[in-house]
Structure 1
């Protein structure tokens, strides 16, 4: 096993003084990660971080309505790497239901322990648990309808995973290191099962902290494409949907506020739907069948050879051509008919 020197990785591009218009018209369409320094430096919660963990905790507690949330707890031997247990039947942490205030108290109690247990108040929607927080700490790039979630921990490590949503993650206290990989590095990241995973998203089985290149040799290729950034209180990062990311909390007390959006398609039009259907229909068919359907997808869906229906007169292209509400409705009805008929 060999340690990875993250100082050798490419730095994520930084763009200063971004406003909502520039974010929507330039950064979002580019679909590349960007560090947004000092984006939320004026937040009241970020200003409390200058006074220390106790001040941040006291500020957050005033919003706590007493509704329990999920708190992950792991023993010191995990070194904060929240992942699978050795046999993958279970995980190396326990889930508790506690209030945000109780979780904060637990974190403050272990702050000065040299080898503490690890505590992670995970993915807590602030409107449901800390009402009023979002109004005092608004995201300057997004509409208020995109609600924040809060993540509070000591020096934990979120393993390589991705999301089907865009993400703006804002560091309110502590320091965090983000290591990102482009979507196409899936083939080199040794991603685990979809159904059985620590926190709702499939994670890499390869450790970024202690990489085993004998067991996971393709990880070395993934690292050639990795980008890294360390964020201070007030800094934020935009992570486009599908980008793989590893997040390491570097301080004894850390607060992150993030925003997910962009994956609001109806069930039938959500890209995950055809992917799961393809797992059922195509994964175990013959090589000849796979070759045929790969050609169909490449030609008609991904259009790898240009417009696949340019030779068909407009008005006769049907579902293979440009879509309008009537055509989409017809496709949905055809899908429903297949489901009702048992898909023969």
Structure 2
């Protein structure tokens, strides 16, 4: 266990916001987590788990003990006639994990290429892109209870996956729901994920259907793309649309795509015929948040050093650098102004994706 004091967090968050951790512990193994819980001072303090820092907005210095997840490891756990079961340490870079599975001949994660962050954050957010969500390829995960130190395993049902949602984004609560039954126990702030396992199905089938992928198939005259081709295409598409955090600080897609009823969608289409929308399996309609923001005129605009990316209105960016970086307050001021504009024009409340600390 490596414990550091007064640690700058600007290199640890992809938005490049300047902040400090009063105490930071680098976690390289499950033993390191247990060592934290065995230390009288550290055990009593609140905890904040930090992976790749790609989905957080820091609004000030972090007072809880920061557990910097750096557990590594990639391996094939099991191969059956129906699937490959692959395990990754929570500290592995997500994109590197995707590339490794393909290199080993285990396709299935290619649609999730180039999503920033670490493996441990992937089930928390239920990451998704180009028709595939983490839950579609999820087998199970291991985590440690920060209250008891006990290790436990969760399957997909126990993770409570939803759109960019999971049990790890909800606080523990014994409050009853509308039906009078307990809502269940959330695990936000209660557990730290150490390993994640993926079920990559056999036989492999490509997930296509998105316009960008169909264009690439037509351009290259490929009717049956391989997993590697889909991986390469998605990397190219994402690099063309989204800023590289190493060059322009950002947290990826800042807002969730909202869902509405068919009647609500029809009402909006009557006023805005060009609105981008997608029917969902449950009958609801998903709207493109980036289109809504662009329609309100925000693309390329800024408040302070927080800006809206010129090529994709769904991405907020850091227009400062180094010591003159954007602040978390500026980012959230811009986000709230965008939310207000979208609500006033469309009657839709946009929900931010990043965790605000």
| Fold similarity call, TM over 0.5 | no
TM-score w.r.t. length of structure 1: 0.30
TM-score w.r.t. length of structure 2: 0.29
Q: Between the two structures, name the one with larger relative contact order (CA 8 Å, sep ≥ 6).
A: 1
Q: Say which one has the larger Rg.
A: 1
